[in-house]
Amino acid sequence: MKLNVNNLKKLIDKEFDGNIAAFARAIGVNRSTAFKAIESESAGNLFAGHLISFCDNKDINFRKYIFLPNMVKKVNQPTDMEIAESA
């Protein structure tokens, strides 16, 4: 998952006075995990899960901070050929 680092840094500045270590403690991850996620602009499952949980508890929309992949495959949809054959 990709992070919206600009918005995440704004959250950290606003809620934690720019202190990434305090942010990491608040969401329940190691400081190094938080730094790595922010620097690489990508979140592993652990970081993302804790960030989502933190946002839910604070009534914050986590989608402002995490870009979810558009990898959902549609199933049980007729193919173009099946549509053409049924016409």
Name the pLDDT band for 24 (thresholds 50, 70, 90). Answer: very high
Token pair for 27: 């969401």
The reported pLDDT for the residue numbered 25 is 97
The reported pLDDT for the residue numbered 19 is 97
7 three-state secondary structure: helix
Token pair for 19: 């202190």
The answer to whether 3 and 42 have CB atoms below 8 angstroms apart is: yes
Whole-prediction pTM: 0.73
The reported pLDDT for the residue numbered 87 is 53
Strand ranges, E, within 1-87: 2-3, 66-67
Name the pLDDT band for 11 (thresholds 50, 70, 90). Answer: very high
Tell me the mean pLDDT in the region 22-48: 91
Q: What is the pLDDT of residues 36-81, one digit of tens each?
A: 999 987 778 899 999 999 999 999 999 898 887 665 556 666 666 6
How many angstroms separate the CA atoms of 52 and 87, rounded?
A: 46
